Copies of this chain bind each other. A is one copy, B any other.
Amino acid sequence: MLVLNEIQPKEIVPGYNARFIHTDNMTFAYWDVKAGYTLPEHSHMHEQVCNILEGVFTLVVNGVEHVLEPGKVVVIPAHVKHFGTSVTDCKLLDVFYPIREDYKNLP
C-alpha cells in the first residue's frame, strides 16, 4: 500500500505540485494546485484522464473549456492540446497511459 503523504511532492511548474505513482503501464499524478495558476498549453503522446477531487479547475481541451468540479471527468486523447487554470486551490488526479517517462525520470 502506498501512502500519498509519504511520497515526496515535486513542483512541475509554479503552483503545481504532484506526487507520482508509476505502475507497469500507467502514471498516476496526484496534484495539489494553488488557486490562480495556469498550466500552459501542451500535448503528449499519452492518453490522459483528469479527475478533480477538490476545488474548481478550468481545463481547455482542443479549444473547448470545461469547468471541472468533483464528479466531473475529462478524457484527453493522445496528442490533443490542453491547458488549465486553477480557480480555487485544487486536488487533481491525472492518469496517463503509457507511463510518463519524463515524470518518472525527474531528479
Chain A contact residues, CB within 8 Å of chain B: 1-5, 21, 23-26, 28, 47, 49, 51, 53, 66, 68, 71-75, 77-78, 93, 95, 97
Contact = CB atoms under 8 A, between A and B. Distances in A.
A92 to B, nearest CB: 13
Count the copies.
2
Contacts of A72: 1-4
A75 B4 contact: no
Contact of A26 (B24, B26, B53, B74): B26
Nearest to A7: B73
18 contacts: A1-B68, A1-B72, A1-B73, A1-B74, A2-B74, A21-B73, A21-B75, A23-B47, A23-B49, A25-B97, A26-B49, A26-B95, A26-B97, A28-B73, A51-B93, A53-B53, A93-B93, A95-B95
